[in-house]
Amino acid sequence: MASSLLSRTLLGHRLIRFSSSLPQNPLIFSNLFNKREFRVQAESYHTTYKASGQHSRLMASAAIETRSNFSTQSLSTNDPVVSVDWLHANLREPDLKVLDASWYMPDEQRNPIQEYQQVAHIPGALFFDVDGISDRTTKLPHMLPSEEGFAVAVSALGIHNKDGLVVYDGKGIFSAARVWWMFRVFGHDRVWVLDGGLPRWRSSGYDVESSASSDAILKASAASEAIEKVYRGQTAGPLTFQTKFQPHLVWTLDQVRRNIEEKTHQHIDARSKPRFDGAAPEPRKGIRSGHVPGSKCIPFPQMLDASQTLLPAEELKKRFNEEGISLERPVLTSCGTGVTACILALGLHRLGKTDVPVYDGSWTEWGAESDTPVDTSS
């Protein structure tokens, strides 16, 4: 809660000037097929590729060709991630928005909004506050907000239903998967996670901004204020984003409880094996150790390679097969607070399972209740 308050304070009172790294002299090219203009930042090509002469012109030409074929309407949603190279080539498209959805565990002592403002973010990215854009009626962390709450918050960020969204975080693939899932829960399918996140972007040599524009900070602050108004029963608007709730993608405690007996879904827990087994204490006070009876453990890092990018489909299949998970049957995912469960859902999406529900309250809710059954592994 203190972190969330600090974030809102920073959002409301720190107006940072535009980054000096923004290119000043963009070259403008026209697409003859649809009469739209595409901007190629000559400065970023020089900085990134350090190319010269004919090679530089060839690199810029290839980038323009890639960008001229861009359309979030035609980009496939079958694969839930896009590469840093793809994003770099299409970064300045008007119907594409990039969201920094960085969030960290309390014991990491990292402040995501501070890092967005003062350390590094992808040029033009908006900040999506995972803790702030959440249900204000519960003490459980970053629970899914109401439809109205989500709609007013993302509208305040300037997001429209027509937009394609690329979400990233500061760890590789971590909290970005949660925001990918949130948009899908509210009916927006044109959303992708940046494979490898900000670390992959930076290691590829692409430019970052180390200060945030006042407009970006104001939008993030407005999103937090808008959702607070909704939960106080006040009017917030105008709306540029309409939700279409997909209830099959989010599960409640009661549904998980029924599934113990009915076994309609295979339940996978994304927490570490020691926490799942009950051998390690939970990071939050007052939470019992162990797991939901009948669930299986596939720690979320098993979805990723060493560079924190999503594994190829065949490798993902091996991970699930090794734990006895049948891809022919329904699957439910959970974790500690509903964040890393979404990484499992991301991996399953790559394998064609696009209807995987996430237990939103996850172990923080289940383990805190006095009447929920808990198993441990000896």
Question: In Å, what is the CA distance from 165 to each residue of 60, 62, 71, 273, 358?
Answer: 24, 23, 12, 33, 21
Please tell me what DSSP assigns to residue 103.
-
Give the gyration radius of the chain's Cα atoms.
21
Provide the 10 A C-beta neighbour count for residue 294.
14
DSSP string, 97-160: EEEE-----GGG---HHHHHHHT-B-TTPEE--TTTSS-TT-SSTT----HHHHHHHHHHTT--
CA 53, CA 139: separation in Å to the nearest integer? Answer: 59
Q: How many residues does the chain have?
A: 378
CA 294, CA 181: separation in Å to the nearest integer? Answer: 24
Question: In Å, what is the CA distance from 205 to each residue of 25, 31, 85, 199, 294?
Answer: 20, 27, 10, 10, 45
Instruction: Clarify whether 335 is annotated catalytic.
Output: yes
Of 129, 117, 155, nearest to 13 by C-alpha is 117
Of 10, 151, 335, 342, which one is the catalytic site residue? Answer: 335
The residues annotated as belonging to the active site are 335
